A and B are shown apart, each in its own frame.
Chain A
């Protein structure tokens, strides 16, 4: 598969890199080797690696659903702290990873 340079905000690259490192995601560790983490705004990846990054985003979202279940302000057990942490994942690493990868890999929209 051909590699492409994909723009992602530096803060997102750093966050994903930390997850990959801390979780020991060997399938993705090579993507973050030899890049300047403090300044990087591009990842050089192919479609299969993009799909792995989407899988990572899905896992982070699944974890947020399990860890912050009381995020709904219409439920009796609503907890604003859960809501904020849930949102940070959903509108952060989850939504942004999808957006930037789908912008370059149309195949990922299906």
Chain B
């Protein structure tokens, strides 16, 4: 934990300057040291649900129609992104993100073209690092979804109670 705080202090000034720090595939785990992974809440028992049947939410990413190529493009926007969390507790209160928790395990790489925008250390936002077509973005999310693993933890709807698949599963993950 001290290591995490130390790293965070070093990056705070950078965040103060630009408001958001952008972390790509090469620097993600240099920033998020001392954590077991980056968590995504709101999943179900078989799927993290970062990919939706109806496509990405416009509240998550900026989608612009490119008339030249007649295709919708996702463009970088450091203030937006799909919400993740640096720890499970973050998902359990203010706001409560119920459902199964999935995790991008520490050391696992992000697909090229994806980044985390970070203003709040505990709340990284997944977005694109370059303009790409909506189908390409969807494919990147599909690849990322394949890297996410069940955290074996569920957040109870309405209460935010953390339900572990077996006692101590969170501590075990943090220790590994």
Contact = CB atoms under 8 A, between A and B. Distances in A.
- Are A and B co-members of a single complex? yes
Interface of A: 7, 9, 11-12, 15, 57, 61, 65, 71-74, 83-84, 87-88, 90-96, 98-99, 102-103, 108-110
Contact of A95 (B49, B53, B95): B95
Contacts of B83: 91, 95-96, 99
A57 B95 CA distance: 9
Contacts of B80: 9
B21 interface: no
Contact of A92 (B44, B59, B94): B59
B46 interface: yes
Contacts, number: 60
Interface of B is mostly: loop
Task: List the 7 closest pairs (A to B, CB-CB), nearest first.
Answer: A73-B44, A98-B95, A11-B58, A11-B59, A9-B59, A12-B59, A96-B59
B97 A92 contact: no
B95 A84 contact: no
15 contacts: A9-B79, A11-B58, A15-B59, A61-B95, A73-B44, A74-B44, A74-B45, A84-B52, A91-B60, A92-B57, A93-B59, A95-B83, A95-B95, A99-B83, A102-B120
Interface residues of B, number: 26
Of listed B44, B49, B58, residue having the most chain A CB within 10 A: B44
B97 A90 contact: yes
Contacts of B94: 98, 102, 108-110
B97 A83 contact: no
A84 B57 CA distance: 12
A75 to B, nearest CB: 10
Given A87-B52, A88-B57, 18 more contacts: A7-B79, A9-B79, A9-B80, A57-B95, A72-B157, A84-B52, A84-B54, A87-B49, A91-B42, A91-B60, A91-B83, A94-B95, A95-B97, A98-B95, A99-B83, A99-B123, A102-B120, A110-B94
Contact of B119 (A11, A88, A103): A103
A4 to B, nearest CB: 14
A50 to B, nearest CB: 13
A107 to B, nearest CB: 11
